[in-house]
Amino acid sequence: MPPAKLKASYIRHRGLVRRDIEVHSQWPKTFGLIRKDRPGWFVFLYLFLTVHGFPAVTLFRLQSMMYEAGLAPLATFVSRVNSFLFGVTIGNEVRSNGALLISHGNVVLDGWTTLGDDVEINPFVTLGISNSSSKPFELWGPTIGNNVNIGTGAKIIGKVTIGDDVRIGANAVVLDDVPAGSTAVGAPARHFPRKPGPGDLPWEPPQE
């Protein structure tokens, strides 16, 4: 394994972890659980010890770093640890190009799946390969755009593309492409232009 390859992989994933910290710390900082002047190491430890999904995302970063550096057995071991401890199962071919937020466990990401920046995955979500009778078996998973929220229990199956600023509804089963700026609901899912709602507003502390 060339040291340069490991170093390049480390630098790439260090930047991704910083984006993960930024996204995960928004809520604690908004509600005063973390002072905004805290150093990065403090924020990382706070998130790792108190925010349920953050350790799973951090282990995924370690897994990806090992795999890209040519250490596939170690990457697979980290994946198994993540599945055992947090109920998050992620294949070695899954790639993330930005901040990732996994709310809780019972998540499966498999196949040649690519995630954009600022992707939020809720519990009981599956992103993976297709093996249904209506589609040929393939190892491709979905390509997810930027600023995408995938609701609880949703399934995105096969080689489909999810555009930027998309919301996938709870328990939706997505088998076809979803254009940018859409909401997809139903099984099989249908999409329609997304209208901004209360969830798109910035977080604000509760008024006393």
**What percent of the chain shows pLDDT beyond 90?**
62
Domain containing residue 182: 93-194
Tell me the whole-structure pTM to 2 decimals: 0.86
Q: Which residues of the chain have pLDDT under 70?
A: 1-2, 131-137, 196-208
User: Residues near 205 by Cβ (< 8 Å), separated by ≥ 6?
Assistant: 30, 31, 32
Same domain, 10 and 82: yes
Q: Examine residue 63 and state whether it is found in any structural domain, yes or no.
A: yes
What are the backbone angles phi and psi of residue 125, rounded to the nearest 5°?
-95, 140
pLDDT (tens digit, 9 = 90+) per residue, 48-105? 999 889 999 999 999 999 999 889 999 999 999 999 999 999 999 999 999 999 988 8
Same domain, 55 and 75: yes
Residue where a domain terminates, one of 61, 86, 111:
86
Same domain, 76 and 113: no
Same domain, 4 and 69: yes
**182: CATH:** 2.160.10.10
